[in-house]
């Protein structure tokens, strides 16, 4: 990944742009990361560039895309459309693969950076792409240890890929961004950036045969003007029993210790998403009582309010590793429509 002169773009498209797309969800800081990356490319490295984001409602768990274009200082930027053919993609959470085609429109030699604990081989199969370079960094783990956010670790990893940019200039950008309002976050974020830069791993895959350039596909809603139920009723809104909040989690989950639970329901009282599953059983005297059966992680966004509310430490903070912890420990709700 090394050997290029700083400020010299390794490749450009037909309009003279080197393009980067960040795929994320609200709460992980991709919008700020895109702003900092575009700012540093221009101010710190002498390139011409532009950065902007696209998102719907600004809330935790909703999809966010950041778009960054760099070009030679003499090239005018007259294109502000969303990036459909990125040279580099940064994926801030590998749970995004459940709902979004994150790699749509990539070149055969594009580089895909993923915040994940999975191996490059596992991610290659999961993303179903024929070739290119896979870069993997545990940005969530770094952020948890440094008490920052995953976006700075992702920026560090991106600077290993974008080796025409000077990492020292990004450290200056981090200082400018945080020092006025949040001076106590400057050094932790610089450490997070440095760890992302040093801990990212790469694997390149050559195409086994010549393949056609992947087309870019825009996400279309399942229900439209002609396919809505009678009366235009939306049957699957964000607060329905069919939702999946796993994409909102940022590395931590509540873990239920059945042997310590006193079934006081303090956890259920503070839970904003009705994650806890209860079952009526007789108590020691044969009287009917509701007993906590477990947690339906499909609805858990990892806010950990339940952990703070539990008076007997029957709920503890646990790191959500990418080995299917939530799927293995999920207790589905007992309602018919919520068991799928």
Confidence of residue 4 (pLDDT cuts 50, 70, 90): very low
E-strand ranges in the chain read 18-25, 48-55, 63-71, 88-91, 111-115, 132-137, 201-205, 252-256, 276-282, 288-295, 315-319
Residue 38: the pLDDT is 95
Cα(142)–Cα(92) distance, integer angstroms = 13
Return all residues near 75 (Cβ < 8 A) that are at least 6 apart: 16, 17, 48
Break the chain into its structural domains and give their ranges: 17-205, 240-329
- Whether 83 shows a pLDDT value over 60: the answer reads yes
pLDDT value at residue 97: 80
Residue 2 binned pLDDT confidence (cut-offs 50, 70, 90): very low
pLDDT of residue 230: 59
**Res 339: pLDDT:** 46
Burial of 66 (0-12, 13-18, 19+ CB in 10 A): buried
pLDDT in tens, 197-223: 999 999 998 877 666 666 676 666 556
- Give residue 223's pLDDT: 61
Range with the poorest average pLDDT among 63-72, 131-140, 298-307, 328-337? 328-337
**Res. 251: pLDDT tops 70:** yes
Mean pLDDT of 219-244: 58
**CATH no., domain 17-205:** 3.40.920.10
Residue 58 clears pLDDT 80, i.e. is over it: no
CB 54 within 8 A of CB 82: yes
Structure tokens at 160: 């290993």
**Both tokens assigned to 100:** 């979004």
* Model pLDDT, residue 231: 59
Residue 187 confidence (pLDDT) above 70: yes
Q: Is the confidence at residue 233, as pLDDT, over 60?
A: no
Report the C-alpha gap between 302 and 307 in whole angstroms. Answer: 10
Mean pLDDT over residues 36-62, rounded? 85
- How many Å from the N-terminal Cα to the C-terminal Cα in the chain? 44
Q: Which top CATH class is 240-329? A: alpha beta
């Amino acid at each position: 990944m090394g050997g290029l002169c700083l400020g010299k773009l390794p490749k450009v498209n037909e309009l003279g742009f080197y393009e980067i797309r960040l795929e994320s969800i609200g709460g992980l800081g991709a919008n700020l990361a895109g702003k900092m990356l575009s700012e540093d490319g221009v101010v710190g490295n002498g390139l011409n560039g532009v950065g902007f984001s696209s998102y719907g409602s600004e809330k935790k768990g909703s999809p966010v895309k950041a778009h960054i274009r760099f070009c030679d200082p003499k090239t005018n930027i007259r294109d502000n459309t969303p990036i459909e053919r990125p040279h580099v993609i940064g994926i801030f959470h590998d749970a995004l693969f459940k709902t979004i085609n994150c790699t749509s429109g990539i070149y055969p030699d594009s580089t895909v950076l993923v915040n994940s604990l999975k191996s490059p081989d596992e991610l290659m199969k999961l993303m179903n792409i024929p070739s290119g370079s896979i870069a993997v960094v545990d940005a969530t783990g770094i952020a948890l240890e440094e008490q920052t956010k995953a976006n700075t670790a992702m920026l560090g990893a991106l600077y290993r890929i974008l080796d025409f940019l000077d990492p020292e200039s990004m450290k200056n950008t981090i200082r400018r961004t945080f020092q006025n309002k949040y001076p106590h976050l400057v050094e932790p974020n610089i450490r997070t950036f440095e760890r992302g830069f040093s801990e990212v791993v790469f694997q390149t895959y050559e195409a086994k045969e010549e393949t056609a350039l992947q087309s870019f596909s825009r996400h279309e809603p399942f229900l439209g003007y002609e396919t809505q139920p009678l009366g235009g009723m939306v049957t699957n809104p964000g607060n329905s029993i069919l939702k999946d909040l796993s994409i909102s989690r940022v590395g931590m989950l509540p873990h239920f210790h059945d042997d310590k639970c006193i079934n006081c329901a303090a956890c259920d009282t503070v839970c904003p998403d009705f994650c806890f599953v209860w079952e009526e059983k007789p108590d020691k005297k044969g009287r009917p009582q509701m007993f906590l059966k477990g947690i339906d992680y499909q609805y858990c966004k990892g806010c950990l309010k339940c952990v703070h509310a539990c008076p007997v430490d029957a709920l503890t903070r646990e790191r959500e590793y990418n080995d299917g912890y939530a799927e293995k420990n999920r207790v589905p709700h007992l309602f018919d429509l919520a068991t799928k």
